[in-house]
Every structure is written in structure tokens, then in C-alpha cells.
């Protein structure tokens, strides 16, 4: 009995304890292998740095300090000051629309024709009413003349004369009312043709033939290209220096062109969250500028001094920028820098990493283009979120 019991204990030991121990031993071996216990170690030592020297055929350039006009950008949108929504004055079915979005129209051009059958019928009714009133007035004049003649002969009484005169006055008033009703009917008939209230470009067509035109409901939108202006929020420190009539430059990215603009209006109320004033600058009439385009208002912000570096001296590794600085003893020191805006051709502003008078090695590259995020405009400040400090 005891031998059987001992055998069962041994079997249970091998089934439970041995697998756990083997697993822990295997895990330890894996950890030791990952830690490099089974690989050969490299003995610690010192690496001798080899100093590079400027070669005879290498070109260099001097980092110099320049003073130039500083210009800041205000981002805005082109909008039309003269914008008109064309709508009907009467309720009627639309027969035809003569224009489409993008068409140029002149003042008085027919844009939309409405169903005029009802209005034409009213005009004819008014014309017949005028004819009837004129006949009544002529009859009243004849009756009054006859009664007046009889009154002079003492045949008719004073009351007959007064009644005849009153009838003539009523007939004359009825004729005048009928003529005014005819004029009103003609005016309503003219509403069946909707004409352009001003010269401009159709920017939106909101109606189609067969639709019902309702008074006050926009059918077309027209804007005057001559009234196009850039509306941009300008920081208060710059806006307070601007005056209506000032001439500024506006850069339109879509056509990559600068146009001269005149400050037309400065809204006399600052926006509290952005600390800016809305500035409206009128643009000259140009065929390739349209409402809603993106534009930059370039505002002079004074003079400033900064370091100027040749772009050919910059080497890039990923997003990092380096230059090779030549020391006084002719050795080369590789130094990381941070650049700003591109200024004059083949020159870029240095924000940190260099000092004026230092000499850098040039590495000319063919077909060099400005890096992403930079602008080729001299002295134009790129607007980035957060506070900026001029350096």
C-alpha cells in the first residue's frame, strides 16, 4: 500500500513541478540571450576624433548682418462691396432665365422673364376702364353744358346745375382713377421682366424655368467686380498705424501676383479674442480676380536687423539643418542652425547657431529651390500660431 502511494506522489511531482521548473529555466535562458550573455563583448575604449580642415578648392562665405524693411501678413478673403441679390416683386411662374453663373451683365439687361398672361389681362381691363371713364366724363361734360345753358335761360334750377356739376366732377375723378389704375397695371406688367439693377458678374443662379418666383426670394446673385476688396483681420498694433487712403500690397496666391490696394475702411472695433481690427482694402478691377479668393495683405512693420546666410551652405538631414563653420585655424566645425525666411535671392535669415562675421563652407547645388514653408518675398513674415519674437 505504501509503495503504491509513493509511486503516485512521484508521478504527481513529475506532472506538476518538473514542467514549471523547465519553463522557468527556459525563460532564464531566453532573457540571458536577449541581454547578450552569449555574444562577444567589445572592450571599452576611446575613439580619436579626426579634425577636418578646409580644402584649397572649397568656397566659403561670410555670415553678415543686414537691416531691411520688415513686412507682416494679414490673411483675408476677397469680397465685393457692391453685391446684389436679384428677386421678383410679384408671384409668378418663371418662363426663362437668360444668364448663368459667371456671365457679365450691364445695368438694365433682361435676366429673367416671368409668366405675364395675368398681368397683360389686367392691363387690358385697365385700358377698357379708362375708355369707359373717358366716355362717362364726356357725357357728363355734355350734360353740364346743356344744364348750364338752360339755367341761363331760367329753365333749369340751381339744384339741377349743381347736380350736373357734381356728376362732371365724379366722372373726371373716375377717369383719373382709371388712368392711374392703368399705369399701375403697366408697372406690374413690367415686373414680369427682371432686369439687372447694376453692372457686374452673376455669381449664383438660384432659379430655373418652371419654378415659382416669390417676392423677396433671391433668384440671382450679382456682384460688381469694380468693388472687389480684401477684408482681413489685422493685429491691433499694426491696424492703429493704418489710415483710410493708405496704399498697401495684396498678394493673391491663386494667380501668384501682387496688386496695389487702397485702404477703404477700418472697422472701429477690435475683435477681443484675436486682438485685431477688420481692414478693408479696395482692389483694382482685374479679370482674373474673383470673390472668395484667398489673399495676403502685406503691411510694413518697420526696420529690423538679422543675420544673412547663403543657402548653398546649408546641409539638411531630415528636418535638421547644419552648416560647416571654418575656425580661425582652418579646421571645420559642423554646427546645427535654425533658419527663418528667405530674403534676397540665395540668402536666408539665420535665427540661431551662428554669429555675424563667421565663415561657412559653401556646397553649391544646381536648381536650388526654397524649402517647404518658406516664401521668396523679401522681408515677408510667415504667420505661425503662438507668439513671435523678431531676431
Q: CB–CB of 272/39 below 8 Å?
A: no
- 214 or 33, greater pLDDT: 214
Question: So what's the pLDDT on residue 129?
Answer: 94
Question: So what's the pLDDT on residue 18?
Answer: 74
Confidence of residue 177 (pLDDT cuts 50, 70, 90): very high
- 14 or 266, greater pLDDT: 266
Q: CB–CB of 336/327 below 8 Å?
A: no
Confidence of residue 92 (pLDDT cuts 50, 70, 90): very high
Domain ranges of the chain: 1-45, 83-115+192-223, 117-190, 226-381
CATH code that applies to domain 117-190: 1.10.287
Confidence of residue 366 (pLDDT cuts 50, 70, 90): low
**Mean pLDDT computed over 12-23:** 77
Q: CB–CB of 315/363 below 8 Å?
A: yes
Count how many Cα atoms sit within 13 Å of the Cα of residue 209 in the half-sphere of its side chain. Answer: 9
Question: So what's the pLDDT on residue 38?
Answer: 73
Question: So what's the pLDDT on residue 231?
Answer: 92
Confidence of residue 47 (pLDDT cuts 50, 70, 90): low
Question: So what's the pLDDT on residue 381?
Answer: 38
Task: Give the tens place of pLDDT for each residue, 300-344.
Answer: 887 777 788 888 889 998 889 999 998 888 888 889 999 887 767
The residue to which cell 382709371 is assigned? 178
DSSP string spanning 314-343? -EEETTEEEEEEEPTTSBEEEEEEEEEEE-
Question: So what's the pLDDT on residue 224?
Answer: 79
Question: So what's the pLDDT on residue 290?
Answer: 82
Report whether pLDDT(256) > 60. yes
Confidence of residue 374 (pLDDT cuts 50, 70, 90): very low
Starting at the earlier edge strand, list the strands of the sheet with 83-87. Answer: 83-87, 218-223, 200-205, 104-105
The residue to which cell 331760367 is assigned? 154
Whether pTM exceeds 0.85: no
Task: Give the tens place of pLDDT for each residue, 114-132.
Answer: 999 999 999 999 999 999 9
Report whether pLDDT(153) > 70. yes
- DSSP-derived letter for residue 157 is -
CB atoms closer than 10 angstroms to residue 182: 20
Instruction: Quickly name the fold that domain 83-115+192-223 has.
Output: OB fold (Dihydrolipoamide Acetyltransferase, E2P) (2.40.50)
Report whether pLDDT(163) > 80. yes
CATH of 226-381, one of 3.20.20.210, 3.30.70.260, 2.40.30.170, 3.30.360.10: 2.40.30.170
Report whether pLDDT(378) > 60. no
Q: CB–CB of 250/230 below 8 Å?
A: yes
What the block records as the C-alpha cell of 51 is 579634425
Strand 228-235, strand 64-80: pairing? antiparallel
Amino acid at each position: 500500500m505504501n509503495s503504491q502511494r509513493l509511486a503516485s506522489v512521484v508521478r504527481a511531482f513529475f506532472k506538476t513541478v518538473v514542467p514549471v521548473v523547465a519553463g522557468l529555466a527556459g525563460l532564464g535562458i531566453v532573457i540571458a540571450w536577449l541581454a547578450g550573455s552569449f555574444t562577444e563583448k567589445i572592450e571599452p575604449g576611446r575613439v580619436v576624433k579626426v579634425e577636418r580642415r578646409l580644402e584649397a578648392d572649397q568656397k566659403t562665405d561670410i555670415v553678415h548682418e543686414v537691416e531691411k524693411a520688415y513686412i507682416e501678413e494679414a490673411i483675408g478673403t476677397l469680397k465685393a462691396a457692391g453685391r446684389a441679390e436679384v428677386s421678383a416683386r410679384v408671384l409668378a411662374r418663371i418662363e426663362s432665365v437668360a444668364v448663368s453663373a459667371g456671365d457679365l451683365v450691364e445695368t438694365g439687361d433682361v435676366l429673367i422673364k416671368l409668366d405675364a398672361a395675368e398681368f397683360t389681362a389686367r392691363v387690358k381691363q385697365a385700358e377698357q376702364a379708362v375708355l369707359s371713364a373717358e366716355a362717362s366724363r364726356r357725357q357728363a361734360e355734355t350734360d353740364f353744358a346743356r344744364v348750364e345753358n338752360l339755367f341761363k335761360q331760367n329753365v333749369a334750377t340751381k339744384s339741377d346745375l349743381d347736380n350736373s356739376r357734381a356728376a362732371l366732377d365724379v366722372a373726371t375723378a373716375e377717369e383719373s382713377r382709371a388712368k392711374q389704375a392703368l399705369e399701375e397695371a403697366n408697372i406690374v406688367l413690367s415686373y414680369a421682366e427682371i432686369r439687372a439693377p447694376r453692372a457686374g458678374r452673376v455669381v449664383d443662379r438660384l432659379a430655373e424655368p418652371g419654378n415659382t418666383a416669390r417676392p423677396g426670394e433671391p433668384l440671382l446673385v450679382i456682384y460688381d467686380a469694380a468693388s472687389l476688396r480684401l477684408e482681413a483681420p489685422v493685429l491691433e498694433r499694426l491696424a492703429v498705424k493704418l489710415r483710410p487712403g493708405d496704399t498697401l500690397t495684396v498678394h493673391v496666391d491663386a494667380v501668384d501676383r501682387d496688386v496695389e490696394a487702397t485702404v477703404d475702411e477700418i472697422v472701429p472695433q477690435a475683435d477681443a479674442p484675436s486682438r485685431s481690427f477688420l481692414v478693408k482694402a479696395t482692389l483694382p478691377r482685374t479679370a482674373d480676380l474673383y470673390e472668395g479668393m484667398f489673399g495676403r495683405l502685406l503691411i510694413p512693420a518697420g526696420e529690423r536687423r538679422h543675420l544673412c546666410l547663403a543657402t548653398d551652405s546649408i546641409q539638411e538631414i531630415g528636418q535638421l539643418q547644419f552648416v560647416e563653420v571654418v575656425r580661425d585655424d582652418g579646421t571645420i566645425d559642423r554646427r546645427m542652425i535654425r533658419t527663418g525666411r528667405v530674403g534676397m535671392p540665395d540668402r536666408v535669415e539665420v535665427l540661431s547657431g551662428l554669429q555675424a562675421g563667421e565663415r561657412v563652407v559653401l556646397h553649391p547645388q544646381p536648381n536650388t529651390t526654397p524649402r517647404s514653408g518658406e516664401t521668396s518675398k523679401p522681408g515677408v513674415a510667415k504667420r505661425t500660431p503662438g507668439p513671435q519674437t523678431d531676431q
